[in-house]
Structure 1
Amino acid sequence: MVYMRKIVYSCKLMLSGYLYGALLYGIGLLLLLANTKELGIGEAELHTLCSILLLGMAPFSILIFSNLFSEEMEERALGLIFTYRQKAVTLLIERVVVAALLTVLLYGLCLVTAHYRILKLNSTDVWEISKMILPANLYLASLALFFSLIGRNVLVGLGVGMGYFILEMMTMGQWTGPMFLFQSIWPKGVISLEEHSLYLLFASVVSMVFSILIFTYGKHRLAHNPS
């Protein structure tokens, strides 16, 4: 019960225009999936669905994860979180859990909507879609979180995440090679989907570890030595 109260408190602190914008965006994505046939967007096939989900889920993940400490950042009170009783890493993990739950919830709703409105999905289809969609979203989310903490500003994380996302679409992996975000839907080179997913997952873990280190040590030091 105590942990749940902490989660609820974290949710309240995360309420901001960015979060409301992300939720509205998620609703828009669901409406798009529900009306793909009427709008004439692609064919009712797995590749089309993967493309819509990969391109559609990425901005949501970036918005959600760059927003984890929006309240503290907007009030310039990030240092005050170190007066809380629990460890800084615990606070970070609580916010990450909330953001991950919101992202998974939207992803699940997208799959359900696609199942009834685009094409019937079985467990194998869901697994294949997840392998193509989730690593890229996790990578973008971890980058957005990392840079929002470095810059102590939601817009920094949002700008880097969306900038990277747009740059990848424009350059089509010309600079990122095996780390190309859209390898699963627009294949480049000879790298397999499994290898590509592992690259992105490894990069996500590294970004998350650095976020924890920065948040736990760097920001703690800054809070005690603001000069």
Structure 2
Amino acid sequence: MSTTYRRISYSLRIMLSGSLWGAFLISILLAMCISHPKWIGLEQRDLHTLTFLMLLVMPVIAIVIFANSFAEELEERLPRLLYAYPFKMLYVILERIGLCLILLLISFTISIIGGYLGGIPLSWQDVNYVAWRIFPASLFLGALSLLVSLLGRNMLAGLGAGIGYWFIEMTTQGQWTGKIFLFQFIWPVAAATSQIENSLYLLLLGLALFTAAIFLFHKARAWFV
């Protein structure tokens, strides 16, 4: 248990020393915009506005968080040291993904609190409604960023892939991606027959990308050292 605790503490310290603070800054700015939508030219302060803003911004936060998972080790070429430790790399990447999920949940909570403090009445059903529309897209892009950062052995590779995909989706509005369009709730496309179907596709793809990242880090030692 003590080894697990030390390993998780080390992972958290490493992750917090990177660009993760940028994700928290974005989270705070998002919460402020949700509570004061007129700052960005939106008149309505309601559940739809909250969901709209969070669906646009939370995937970017996920990209930063997950691309940062191994930023310090990859930048300093320290994976060789990681693989020298007397524990399985499977534990390391699962713990990093778990920490990323916790940090993403914290960012989500900050935004929800911003909406509540801004006067938007929110029930648990409303929070569930928002989460079902936010997390599939966020987890998909987070998983993509994690995998590409490992393949490219650089955090910037993951950031570039995630932000690039997000930007393409913003500009094409689902013309290329159809059923896996990130913003189906905002700009519905006919190819995705329902928002539930769209969310399930994104969750399944995100799970596949996470699985690929776990397999790569656990098995492809030669790629990193």
Counterpart of 2:57, as a letter, is G
Judged with a 3 Å threshold, the aligned counterparts in structure 2 of structure 1 residues 45 and 35 are, in CA distance, closer, same or farther, namely closer
Judged with a 3 Å threshold, the aligned counterparts in structure 2 of structure 1 residues 139 and 78 are, in CA distance, closer, same or farther, namely same
Structure 2 residues without counterparts, runs of 5 or longer: none
What is the CA distance between 1:38 and its match in structure 2?
5.2
Question: Which portions of structure 1, spanning 4 or more consecutive aligned residues, are displaced by more than 6 angstroms?
Answer: none
Q: Is the 8 A contact 1:37 1:118 kept in 2?
A: no
Judged with a 3 Å threshold, the aligned counterparts in structure 2 of structure 1 residues 38 and 21 are, in CA distance, closer, same or farther, namely closer
What residue number does 1:182 align with? Answer: 183
Matches within 5 A, 1:56-205: 56-189=57-190, 191-205=193-207
What is the CA distance between 1:49 and its match in structure 2?
1.2
Q: Is the 8 A contact 1:61 1:141 kept in 2?
A: yes
What is the CA distance between 1:205 and its match in structure 2?
0.7
Q: Is the 8 A contact 1:44 1:119 kept in 2?
A: yes
Determine the C-alpha separation between the residues in 1 that align with 2:119 and 2:93: 37
Once the two structures are superposed, residues 126-146 of structure 1 have per-residue CA deviations (whole angstroms, 9 ceiling, x without a partner) of 111111111000101000001
Q: Is the 8 A contact 1:30 1:110 kept in 2?
A: yes
What residue number does 2:9 align with? Answer: 8
**Secondary structure of residue in 2 paired with 1:80:** helix
Across the aligned residues of Structure 1 and Structure 2, the Cα RMSD in angstroms comes to: 1.6
What is the CA distance between 1:31 and its match in structure 2?
2.1
**Secondary structure of residue in 1 paired with 2:69:** coil
Structure 1 residues without counterparts, runs of 5 or longer: none
Counterpart of 1:146, as a letter, is L
Sequence identity (%): 39
Q: Is the 8 A contact 1:47 1:185 kept in 2?
A: no
Normalization by structure 1: what TM-score? 0.92
Once the two structures are superposed, residues 136-188 of structure 1 have per-residue CA deviations (whole angstroms, 9 ceiling, x without a partner) of 00101000001000000000000000000000000111111101000022111
Q: Is the 8 A contact 1:36 1:118 kept in 2?
A: no
What residue number does 1:21 align with? Answer: 22
2:215 aligned to 213, 216, 225, which one? 213
What is the CA distance between 1:39 and its match in structure 2?
4.9
Deviates most, 120-129 or 110-119: 110-119
